[in-house]
Structure formats: structure tokens, C-alpha cells
Amino acid sequence: MRLAALFLAVFCSASVVAQEPVTVTSTAAASVAVTPSAERVTTLLPRQAEPADADNAADPAQRNRDEAASDTVPAENGKPGGTTRPTATDTPAETTAAKIAEPGNTSARDADAGASDQAADLAGETGSANAALPATDDSSVADTPTDEPAEDSEVAASVVVKVVDEERQQLLSRLESFCKRIDQKLSSVSQDECMRIGLLDSGARSNNKTPLLFRDFLPAEGEPSARVLVVGGIHGDEYSSVSIIFKWLEMLGDERLGERFHWRVVPVLNPDGLLRPPRMSQRMNANGVDLNRNFPSPDWEEEAHNYWVNRTRRNKRRYPGPAALSEPESAWLAEQIETFKPHAVISVHAPHGVVDFDGPRVPPRQLGPLELRLLGTYPGSMGRYIGVHKGIPLLTVELESAFGMPERDAIYGIWDDMLGWLHAKIARPMQLAEDQRALQPPTDVLRDRGDSDSGG
């Protein structure tokens, strides 16, 4: 009997030893899978371990013993029990993982130790790349080897966050540089005021690679969303046309004065013309093109150069450029007209001291101290392109001085009157049109009632 018992013990030990290499391989695969390599950190491509073949991981007798076991795993090491054991429908990888996690499985414990050694070797190969990654607890690897995709997602998410942070820092750096130059150029706009406004980088660049910045203000919830595009600094030597828009940006941000509109505000369309060395700001952009003669009005090809040569005597301040939209600044604004689809455009200039208007709708008679006086349009001008050709109301605010800001009362007076005109002539007609459409029954309802929409 003793000899038979001893023989049986030796036989069982041999069976366990025979299974250990397969179990170690499965555990090591799980450990390696949750320890991202340097290559995966660089490429951001998740690499998943191939599932172990559970059918080959144990002999048929072992599988029969597993199937006959209870469906509930007892509590282990202070962890709650109740985990369902794998069934015949589980995948091979899940079955192998469950066998590794079984209490009392000495092969699994040995496998954990071997896998930890392999993971340590792998960490040594990957060097500092893995040093930044969170440490992985061996027991968690054994309990949940299928969590690898989640950890891959966490690594990828952390890299994405890092990239976003870097982009944010780059944007902040560009904005600080821009606002510092604005502060140096315009005495009425400080760097802090410029930074507080929250300007965004459009992605477009001027000829000198200066970012074209803008700011959106959305309408209040439930309000009509008439879109208004405001543009300043089209001519770089008209300082006040930039300064007053910065003041309006503060008003929009602090008081929500235009809450019935979706505003898109571009404080400086021509940064290269404005941000030149002291006393060298110019009307034109860096290429010497007047942006307000570079828009694609239908007569540009025939009339733009002819007008420049014969009417302005080749005045370099009014050079229309080699072709319509040849300049990145005018091309970007034309793109905004097509994509933003404004219901009205406000353009700020100086120093005529009047209100100009082009396009449909009735213009305002007065904006603050500025009275209406129609100045006409020119080939390639915003007035002819936006107001006449595109049929979008274009309100041009011509301040009295290009270098001095209006008085505070004038700034608010111009804004209040402009806002009143937008409400009366842009927002209200839109609301009336929406109300009319809402009151009119659908065509199919009229036909169901037997009414004829042909009049006869």
C-alpha cells in the first residue's frame, strides 16, 4: 500500500510539472502584454498578446476535472468571491486565465514568478520608455489578463492628452507673442487685455506667418442665431479700427450685449501691415497689396487693374494684387464668408468719420456721432464683393481718426446704435420669416383637406 501511494504521488507530481511550461507561457504572455514596449509607446499602436490555446494547455483529464468543479470561485487573499468560472463557451484565452487564477494552483504561482522575471527583463530592454508607465501588480495580471486593451487605451489617452497640452502651449505662446506686439503698437490695448479676450488661432497665416486670430460668441440658448461677422484692421495703418474692436470684444465677453447673435470677430485681418516697426505701419499687407481691392468681385479681371492704373495713377497704396484672392488674408476672409455664412458683416475703417453701407436692407441713419454717407464701391472691394455681389448687408464704420480712439461715449454710442440696427433689420426679419413658416400648414395637409394649391 505504501509503495502504491508513493507511486501515485510521484505520478501526480510529474503531471503537474508537465503542465508548468504551458502555464508559464500563458502567464508570461499576459504579463508582457500589459507591459508596453518602447516601440508601442512610440507608434501608439496597441500590440495584443495572442490568446493561448486552452485545449493544448491541459490534458483531457484536467479539462474534465475543471468542468466538474463548482461554478463559483471562493474568496482569495481578501478579495470577494463569486467570480464565475469559465464554461465550455469561453474563449481559450479566458479559460487559461481562469486556470492561472485558481487558488492553490502552484503552477500558477511559479508562472507568476517566471512572468515577473520576464517582465523585468523586458523592462530592462525598453529602458526609460517603460519607466514612465504605471507599475503593474502581478496579482492583477493573473486575475484579469484580458484588461490589456483598457491599459492600452489608458496609455494612448495619456499620449493624446500630452499632445493636446503641447498644442495648447504652442497656441498660448503664439498668442502671447501676438498680444505683446499689439501692446507695443497700440497704446489703448494692453497685453493683458489682449490675452483675456480668448482669441483663437484660425490656422490661417499672413504672408509673414502671423496667425490670423478670431473669437466667436454664441447666442443665448433658444435665441435666433443670426450670424454677424466683424472685421477690423483691414488696412494696417488704421490703428483705431483695431483698438475699437478690442473694446467691443471686452463688451461682448463681459455683458453678453449681443446675445441674440452668433458673433465672429476678427480684430486684425492685416497683421503684417499693422505690426511693422514703429512709425512704419502701412495700409497694404506684406506683399504691398491693398486687401480691400483684392476680393473677387465679378468685374475684378476686367476692371481692377484698369481702375488702379487710370484712376489712381498706380497709387501703391491701392494696388489690387496680381489676381483676386492672391493674398492669404483676403482668401481666408472670403472662405469665412462661404463657411460662416454671415447674415451681416461689420467692417471698421478710418478716418472718414461716416457710416457707409452696401447691399440689401435699409442702412442705419446714424451710429453714435457718425452719420450715413454712401461712399460707393470699387473693383475688388469688400463693398462690391460682399454687399453687391454676395447680397450680404455690409455696414462700414468709418471712424474719425486713424490714430486716436473715439471718446468712451462715442464707442458705446456706435455700439448701441449698431446693435439696435442689427436687431431691427437682421434679427427681426429672420424671426418674422420663421414665424410665417411656422404658421403655414404643410402642403400635404392642404391636399388632405381637399384644398388646391393651384388656385383653380
Counted domains in the chain: 2
Instruction: Tell whether 202 and 152 lie within a shared domain.
Output: no
pLDDT of 193 above 90: yes
pLDDT 10s digits, 25-66: 333 333 333 333 333 333 333 334 444 444 444 444 444 444
Cell of residue 3, nine digits = 509503495
Residues 45 and 144 placed together within one structural domain of the fold: yes
Annotate 433-446 with three-state secondary structure. Answer: HHHHHHHCCCHHHH
Reported residue count of the chain is: 456
Classify residue 403 as exposed, middle or buried by CB count within 10 Å of its CB (0-12, 13-18, 19+): middle
Tell me whether residue 454 is in a domain. no
Asked whether residue 80 is assigned to any structural domain, the reply reads yes
* C-alpha span between 329 and 30 (Å, rounded): 56
Whether the CB-CB separation of 223 and 260 falls below 8 Å is answered with yes
CA 389/CA 235 separation, integer angstroms:
22
Distance of alpha carbon 131 from alpha carbon 153, whole angstroms: 18
The rounded percent of the chain whose pLDDT value lies above 70 is: 59
Contacts of 376 (CB under 8 A, 6+ apart): 383
CA proximity to 230, closest of 346, 115, 341, 324: 346
Clarify whether residues 425 and 298 are in a common domain. yes
Q: What is the pLDDT of residue 234?
A: 99
Same domain for 60 and 104: yes
Residues 249 and 109 in one domain: no
Residue 391 lies in a domain: yes
Report how far residue 118's alpha carbon sits from residue 393's, in angstroms, rounded to the nearest whole number: 72
153 and 83 share a domain?
yes
Number of Cβ within 10 Å of residue 285's Cβ equals: 27
Check whether residue 148 and residue 259 sit in a common domain. no
Given a cut of 70, is residue 285 above it in pLDDT?
A: yes
Identify the CA nearest to 396 among candidates 334, 351, 342, 338: 351
Question: Based on the domain organization, do 369 and 321 belong to the same domain?
Answer: yes
Alpha-carbon gap, residue 150 to 33, rounded angstroms: 11
**Assigned domain for 335 exists:** yes
Continuous segment of H or E residues that includes residue 201:
strand 200-205
Name the one residue in this structure whose C-alpha cell is 436687431.
Answer: 423
Model pTM?
0.62
- Mark whether 412 and 285 lie in a shared domain: yes
Same domain, 250 and 110: no
**Residue 207 confidence (pLDDT) above 80:** yes
> What is the structure's pLDDT at 439?
63
In a domain, 244, yes or no: yes
Query: 351: buried, middle or exposed (CB in 10 Å: 19+, 13-18, 0-12)?
Result: middle
Strand partners, 205: 211
Is residue 422 predicted with pLDDT exceeding 70? yes
Residue 11 inside a domain? The answer is no
Radius of gyration of the CA atoms of the chain, in A: 36
Q: Answer whether residue 12 is part of any domain.
A: no
Structure confidence at residue 112 (pLDDT): 42
**Model confidence over 386-409: pLDDT tens digits?**
999 999 999 999 999 999 999 999
pLDDT score for 103: 38
**Residue 427 forms part of a structural domain:** yes
Looking at the fold, whether 105 and 250 belong to one and the same domain comes out as no
The predicted-structure confidence for 302-358, as pLDDT tens digits, reads as follows 999 999 999 999 999 999 999 999 999 999 999 999 999 999 999 999 999 999 999
Q: What is the DSSP string of 315-340?
A: -GGG---SSTT-SHHHHHHHHHHHHH
Cell of 238: 488704421
Give CA separation, 97 vs 30, 94, 163, 189, 209, in Å. Answer: 9, 5, 35, 65, 57
Helix, strand, coil percentages in the chain from 3-state DSSP, rounded to 5: 50, 10, 35
CA distances from 296 to 28, 264, 293, 335, 382 (A): 67, 22, 9, 12, 9
Domain that holds residue 433: 186-439
Q: Are residues 191 and 152 in the same domain?
A: no
Exposure letters 361-374 (e unless 16+ CB within 10 A, then b)? bebbeebbebeeee
* Amino acid (1-letter code) at residue 329: E
- Check whether the bond before 46 is cis (ω within 30° of 0): no
